[in-house]
Amino acid sequence: MTRLRHLAPLLVLALLAVVFGVLNPAFVTPENARNILFQASVLLVASCGATFVILMGSIDLSVGAVATLAGVVAALLVPSLGYGSIFVATLVGFAIGTINGLLYVYLRIPSILVTLGVGTSLTGVILFLSDGGSIPIRDARYIAVTQYEFIAYLPMIVVFAILVYALCVLIGERTRFGRMTLAIGSDEETAKLVGVSVDYVKVQAFALSGALCGLCGALLASRLGTATGTMGDFLMLETITAVVVGGTAIAGGIGGVARTLLGVLVVAMLSNGMNILAVHPYLQTIIKGCVILLAVIATSRSLSARNLS
């Protein structure tokens, strides 16, 4: 039964590919596969960081706002810093993530409220910096960071995403920090008793999530060739969906970054397929919400079964 739950995202992925391919042959073209990889790559970078937060039993609702702000900052700095704007955008995300973690830990405010408040505040900063409009990027070299293909249908943004994913899997499975995030999600009080610095790990997790959202925003601006005040809005819902569908329990303690990849591919393929079939955007949101609900139910049952065993 446990093996079946682990294989569920892969089975869903195969089912989506068959259904969308039958309903619209354009879904199975190389060009569309490239589009899916583009969308999945941006989402994967943000979802890797979000996984560590959710693994602890916390939540980060500011991911979209952080990515958008970082993308706007990157677009503003490209003329003067070039590629260096990616580094600055990552630092912006890291700083905001650290603030999220500190507010959550030291003010004892639930993470969902902290990150919602910070994200809302960032929206005002974004509108101020962008003057409510878009910021075009005219540096072809910066755009090529994500769109250049050294292998046909394999854009550079995919390489970035794979490297980030591999690094985060390594962190999650081979470092003390990764093991401690899982321990906190499993039983925070027990983790404290065995000497885990819970507050410090929580701040680290939010800082890492923020840094990857910052990187995600810089890459998204490069991919779009412009930065807008709403370009990262989709990330708030889709990162949570991807992480939970991949098999990380929304309550924490089960899962990890390694599982997030399949969840990201499921979400990217679902979004792409619904767009190709011209499904109404509002209906798409309803469907994604239902996917989250089903995934939460499945992981909750896994958690209950583990506690009873």
Instruction: Please state, in angstroms and rounded to a whole number, the distance separating the CA atoms of residues 162 and 164.
Output: 5
Residue 16: pLDDT above 60?
yes
What's the mean pLDDT in 10-34?
88
> 263: closest CA among 295, 232, 227?
295
Region 285-293: mean pLDDT is 82
Q: Which residue has the higher pLDDT, 6 or 253?
A: 253
Cα-Cα-Cα-Cα dihedral sign, residues 69, 114, 234, 200: positive
What pLDDT, on the 0 to 100 scale, is given for residue 193? 85
Residue 11: the pLDDT is: 85
| Per-residue pLDDT, 308 | 45
Could you tell me which of 189, 165, 185 has the C-alpha nearest to residue 258?
165
pLDDT at 169: 96
* Confidence at residue 237, expressed as pLDDT on a 0 to 100 scale: 87
pTM as predicted: 0.91
What pLDDT is stored for residue 54 in this prediction? Answer: 95
Rg (CA), the chain: 19
Spatial separation of the C-alpha atoms in residues 196 and 184, rounded to whole Å: 8
CA distances from 111 to 40, 59, 243, 247 (A): 26, 6, 17, 21
Q: Has residue 264 got a pLDDT over 70? A: yes
Grouping H, G, I as helix, E, B as strand and the rest as coil, residue 309 is coil
28-81 pLDDT, tens digit per residue, is 888 898 889 888 999 999 999 999 999 999 999 999 999 999 999 999 999 999
- pLDDT for residue 105 is more than 70: yes
Q: What confidence tier does 181 reach under pLDDT thresholds 50, 70, 90?
A: very high
Task: Tokens 């499904």: give the residue.
Answer: 279
The tokens describing 171, both together, are 């962190």
| Three-class SS state of 151 | strand
pLDDT tens-digit series, residues 137-171: 998 899 988 888 877 778 889 998 999 999 999 99
Higher pLDDT, 298 or 122: 122
* 302 has a pLDDT exceeding 60: no
Confidence of residue 207 (pLDDT cuts 50, 70, 90): very high
Q: Across residues 191-208, what is the average pLDDT?
A: 91
Q: What average pLDDT does the chain have?
A: 89
